[in-house]
Amino acid sequence: MKTALLLSGGMDSIAIAWWRRPELAITVDYGQRPALAEFRAAASAAEAMGIEHLTVKADLSALGSGDMAGAEPLSLAPVTEWWPFRNQMLITLAAMKAVAHGVQRLLIGTLRTDGLHADGRPDFVTTLDALLRLQEGGLQLEAPAIALTSAELIRTSNIPMEVLAWAHSCHVGIHACGQCRGCQKHYQTLAELGVDPY
C-alpha cells in the first residue's frame, strides 16, 4: 500500500517519517507565517531519509487566525495558534496531491496531547478517514502516534537527534521565537528526552 505523510517540518511529523518510512512526504504552504522554515525543515529531513518530498501551495492566509496567521485569534479559539478548520484543510490538500500520485494511505502527526483542538481528537480522525474512503481513490487516513506524546513518539521512532534537529516548531516566524506555544513544546519535549534545548 503506497503511503504518504503530511510532513509539516515539526518534530512530530519528522519522527513519524523516520518511524513509518512513507514513500512520499507532502508539505503544505497555506500562507502560514513559518511556511518557509517549515518547508526547509521538511525538505531537509525528507532528503536525509531518502523520502520523495512533494509540496502544495495554496495561500489561505486571508482565512487564518492567531499566531500562525499573524492575526488576533477568533473569540472561539482554544489556543493562540488556532486556525479555523486547519487540519481538515491540510488533510484535504494533502489528499488531493496524494491521490494523484497513487497513494492509498495518508499519515498525519496527531498525538494524544492534541485533544485540546477538536481536530486533534480520535473521533475527528475516524470521521475524516471515513469521508476520504467514500470518495474516488478510497484514500485511508491514519494517525499512527495518536496514543503517544511527542517524547514517547520520538523514543518509539528511534530517530537520531541529528535528523530531528532539522525540525522547526515556531508558530510565528522562520526563526524560533522561543516564546510561542510551538517553541515551548519543542523545548519541553527535548527536556523530557534529556536533551539540552539550549
Average pLDDT over residues 66-79: 92
pTM for this structure? Answer: 0.96
Residue 3 phi, psi (nearest 5) = -120, 140
Give the mean pLDDT of 191-196.
90
195 pLDDT higher than 80 = yes
Residue 197 within a domain: no
pLDDT of residue 196: 79
Could you tell me the three cell numbers for 166?
A: 532539522
For the chain, first and last CA: distance in Å? 41
pLDDT tens digits along 31-58: 999 999 999 999 999 999 999 999 999 9
pLDDT one-digit tens code per residue, 145-159: 999 999 999 999 999
Residue 18 lies in a domain: yes
Q: Mean per-residue pLDDT for 166-188?
A: 96
Give per-residue pLDDT as tens, 93-111.
999 999 999 999 999 999 9
What CATH number should be reported for the domain holding residue 60? 3.40.50.620
Residue 72 in domain = yes
Band of pLDDT at residue 117, cut at 50, 70 and 90: confident
Whether 198 is covered by a domain: the verdict is no
- Domain hosting 134: range is 3-192
Confirm whether 146 is domain-assigned: yes
Q: Based on the structure, what is the number of domains in the chain?
A: 1
Statement: residue 6 has pLDDT above 80: yes
CA distance 148 to 132: 24
User: What was the pLDDT predicted at 116?
Assistant: 82
Mean pLDDT of 49-73: 96
Residue 89 lies in a domain: yes
* Per-residue pLDDT at 198 exceeds 80: no
Q: Is the predicted pLDDT of residue 197 greater than 80, yes or no? A: no
Q: What integer best gives the mean pLDDT of the chain?
A: 96
Phi, psi dihedrals of residue 135, rounded to the nearest 5°: -95, 165
Per DSSP, helices labelled H in the chain are 11-20, 35-49, 86-99, 122-134, 150-157, 161-164, 181-192
Question: What average pLDDT score do residues 80-88 get?
Answer: 94
The residues, ordered by sequence, that sit 6+ positions from 107 with a Cβ below 8 Å of its Cβ are 3, 4, 5, 6, 16, 20, 22, 142, 143, 144
**What is the pLDDT, as a whole number, of residue 115?**
84
